[in-house]
Amino acid sequence: MELIERPAQHRVKAKLLALGPYLRPDKSTPEQYFFDCLAVCRSAKAELEQREFWGWFLYLEATDTGFEYRYEFGLYDSEGQWSGSESPPQEYMAEVKQTLDDFYQLLHKCVSVDLKLSLTCSEEENANEPLSAA
């Protein structure tokens, strides 16, 4: 197995932050990064603080050669918590998936091209299909 030299932690974090508003630094560690997207508002008529959103959240975990990811679709509630047990209704799923696909294109380029690390789907923890950078 070829030994991969990892970029400095501050460089990795800076590259991931540059992807846009997806990274949640307060929910991330140097070994695991947390990303999310509030794709579709479920409760547009509610007060701003009470709105809920359909979307996705993704964990990016460091490995010896790069990163593994796992993601879920779910509901971001008015308490600021994700629930993966509630999937977006079918009428919103295409839009939610599109935001995840768009993000994954950016993430793949960042990790594989810019940082020169591997990016794979976590087979054991992810019930969802692997994402494609195609």
Confidence (pTM)? 0.88
**Tokens 């020169």 map to which residue?**
116
Q: How many residues can be counted in the chain?
A: 134
By CB atoms closer than 10 A (0-12, 13-18, 19+), residue 62 is middle
CATH number of the domain encompassing residue 105: 3.30.310.230
pLDDT for 134:
52
In a domain, 1, yes or no: no
DSSP, collapsed to helix, strand or coil, labels residue 124 as coil
Task: Say if strands 118-121 and 53-62 run parallel, antiparallel, or are unpaired.
Answer: unpaired
Residue 58 has pLDDT above 90, yes or no: yes
- Contact at 8 Å (CB) between 70 and 125? yes
In a domain, 36, yes or no: yes
In a domain, 3, yes or no: no
| Domains held by the chain: number | 1
More confident residue, 129 or 13: 13
Predicted confidence band at 133 (pLDDT cuts at 50, 70, 90)? low
Distance of alpha carbon 93 from alpha carbon 43, whole angstroms: 16
Domain that holds residue 91: 13-120
In a domain, 81, yes or no: yes
In a domain, 21, yes or no: yes
In a domain, 128, yes or no: no
In a domain, 126, yes or no: no
In a domain, 4, yes or no: no
